[in-house]
Amino acid sequence: MEIVYDEKSLCEYMHEAVRASEERPVLVDRFLENAIEVDVDALCDGKVALIGGIMEHIEWAGVHSGDSACSLPPKSLTPRVVDEIIIQTKRMALELKVVGLMNVQFAVQDETVYVLEVNPRASRTVPFVSKATGKPLAKIAAKLMMGRTLKELGFVEKIYPEHMSVKEPVFPFNKFQGVDVLLGPEMKSTGEVMGIDQKFSMAFAKAQLAGGAPLPLKSGKVFVSVCDRDKRAVASLAARLVDHGFTLVATGGTAIFLKRHGLDVDIVKKHYEGEPNILQALLNKEIAMVINTHEGKLSAVDSYEMRRTALVTNTLYFTTIAAA
């Protein structure tokens, strides 16, 4: 699976895909850029459907659902969008005659709700939703499959927790030498942790710490190097980091962009541009956080050594603007 942004990348991927499997078709679909992905777990007894949990992904659509952090309940979806998701989920459950659990993945772009896929089965999110809501969804679903109804089991209203829960994936990157830490449409995580609090910010921080992320407790230097399509979004993020006491260092193109937005930024060289460079800064523990995004394979290869160095030096890194 691959996300391509231009004709050249498409041709390269098609060549590789066809060479790998000449007898199987290649499916092409339009990618919803900058869309919010939403996971919904629902219960249905064949006549009545009940929403078990609505999870808003932290990363944009395009990162595999198993690799994206998510919040329950949603942190930014409008009430109108949430109502539309509930209506669509219940309609699909009844039309598909689901008895037990069902998972639906949606994408929300500019307040428009798109259905990505529907699975009339339990999803990997069920343990998280059950823990977050205190409702044993798998146990309830098993009873429904044995002929009980939601009403008989006492579930007639929407399950809605009064606190925020955040699921954070855990990756095995430090166990596999040479693996790139970039996230994409193919799943790389091997586990997950969660954080719970009344506030989303604290729940997210707890989930990060549980997953082993070295959150900087004091101010420090933040290295920023992002692709062109992310520069507008990173400007406001960088300004907030400066307001919290961090200082900025960036590669040439990103630094020029940030300076045009009134931010004080030190320029640092890429690892192949000479010394001193970003790899040396990471090895010397001069960097507290890395924000690095890419666009296309060439961009990913260009910054690979920097991401791996951030990993081995246990430096906090983000490869999507949404997560940062």
- Residue 108 bridge partners (DSSP): 36, 113
Q: 68-77, 140-149, 179-188: which range is least confident on average? A: 179-188
- Per-residue pLDDT, averaged over 278-288, amounts to 91
**Structure confidence at residue 17 (pLDDT):** 67
Q: Do 296 and 263 meet the contact criterion of CB atoms below 8 Å apart?
A: no
The matching CATH number, chosen from 3.90.79.10, 3.40.50.1820, 3.30.470.20, 2.60.120.10, for 36-167 is 3.30.470.20
Q: How far is CA 26 from the centre of its chain?
A: 25
What's the chain's average pLDDT?
87
Amino acid at 105: Q
- Per-residue pLDDT, averaged over 279-288, amounts to 91
**Structure confidence at residue 302 (pLDDT):** 61
Query: Between residues 309 and 103, which one has the greater pLDDT?
Result: 103
Sorted by sequence, the CB contacts under 8 Å of residue 41 that are 6+ apart come out as 51, 52, 53, 55, 101, 102, 103, 123, 125, 126, 129, 137
Reduce the DSSP state of residue 32 to 3 states and report it.
coil
Sorted by sequence, the CB contacts under 8 Å of residue 185 that are 6+ apart come out as 1, 2, 3, 62, 63, 64
pLDDT of 19 > 70? The answer is no
- Residue 289 bridge partners (DSSP): 222, 316
Q: Do 71 and 39 meet the contact criterion of CB atoms below 8 Å apart?
A: no
**Structure confidence at residue 136 (pLDDT):** 95
The 10s digit of each residue's pLDDT in 229-277 is: 888 889 889 999 999 899 999 988 899 999 999 999 999 888 888 788 8
Distance CA 231, CA 165 (A): 30
**Structure confidence at residue 202 (pLDDT):** 94
Most confident of 149-153, 234-238, 289-293, 299-303: 149-153
- Asked whether the CA dihedral 142, 132, 162, 241 is positive or negative, the reply is negative
Which residue, 110, 94, 95, 88, is CA-closest to 40?
A: 88
Reported as a pLDDT band with limits 50, 70 and 90, residue 308 is confident
Q: Which CATH architecture has domain 216-324?
A: 3-Layer(aba) Sandwich (3.40)
Which residue, 147, 128, 126, is CA-closest to 137?
A: 126
The 10s digit of each residue's pLDDT in 38-93 is: 999 999 999 999 999 999 999 877 788 888 899 999 999 999 999 999 999 999 99
Q: Do 37 and 116 meet the contact criterion of CB atoms below 8 Å apart?
A: yes
Q: Do 106 and 115 meet the contact criterion of CB atoms below 8 Å apart?
A: yes
The 10s digit of each residue's pLDDT in 189-238 is: 889 999 999 999 999 999 999 988 888 877 789 999 988 888 888 988 99
Query: Between residues 222 and 319, which one has the greater pLDDT?
Result: 222
**Structure confidence at residue 2 (pLDDT):** 67
List alpha helices for the chain, DSSP H. Answer: 7-20, 79-95, 126-133, 137-145, 200-210, 231-243, 252-260, 278-283, 297-302, 304-312
Amino acid at 213: A
Q: How many CB atoms lie within 10 A of CB 117?
A: 9
**3-state class percentages of the chain: helix first, strand second, coil last, to nearest 5:** 35, 25, 40
- pTM of the entire predicted model: 0.82
**Structure confidence at residue 300 (pLDDT):** 58
CA-based end-to-end distance of the chain = 25
pLDDT of 143 > 60? The answer is yes
The domain ranges of the chain are: 36-167, 216-324
- Residue 44 bridge partners (DSSP): 49, 100
Sorted by sequence, the CB contacts under 8 Å of residue 260 that are 6+ apart come out as none
